[in-house]
A and B are shown apart, each in its own frame.
Chain A
């Protein structure tokens, strides 16, 4: 159980890292229009990612 003495502090660091990642996502505007994201899958035009995979 000694590993917990490492893992618990590590999890604190991880929380801060995730919060920084979230801040980056927020600042790049990914959460500005949440309502729309759920319906993106229903749209006709393929996303760039899908188009790349289809070409392969």
Chain B
């Protein structure tokens, strides 16, 4: 079974993202970019399934500008067999990303597609379910445990009410949550090996998909700041402060 992993490049989660003074976007000059943390977890899960003999091949896919090759090389160094780079100079919205992934699925015929539960840039949490809908296949979102057998997968999902277990027929789309696994570190020899792994480049226009977005972002603004509060010196003062605010 092939596993396709959607592997997005985003501003590193340690960067404190700032809005440009003119409100036209966020600062990206010189900012560190990394794999979306959830996508590293998705890739790790795919690699483990290959190590268990369940998957035969792991393919990482990104839809990103031409300079994202190093990002895909990281995915290859982590252990993916090959990479597909769909080149788009513009950022793509989730519906477009899902349409692109569907095109690749039609050629690759994977048994499982793993995505992050959300990308930490747009925080949309849409691409996985959208892909599953377009593909007319099952989805299991927010996975914290994935058990794959020949024709189905049993997935534990972290939902608001607790842990939900679903069984889905394969092929299926699974979006992963933080507690699914802990991604491995890349070792130096793996970086060397990754250089010779196959990377396919596809211009997004050649896929003939509808890339329209019905939503336009007209302004970016910094969030309202909370006022810095007061420090109290002990518990009686804390209780008094809470009482003064009518909270006790």
Whether chains A and B associate is: no
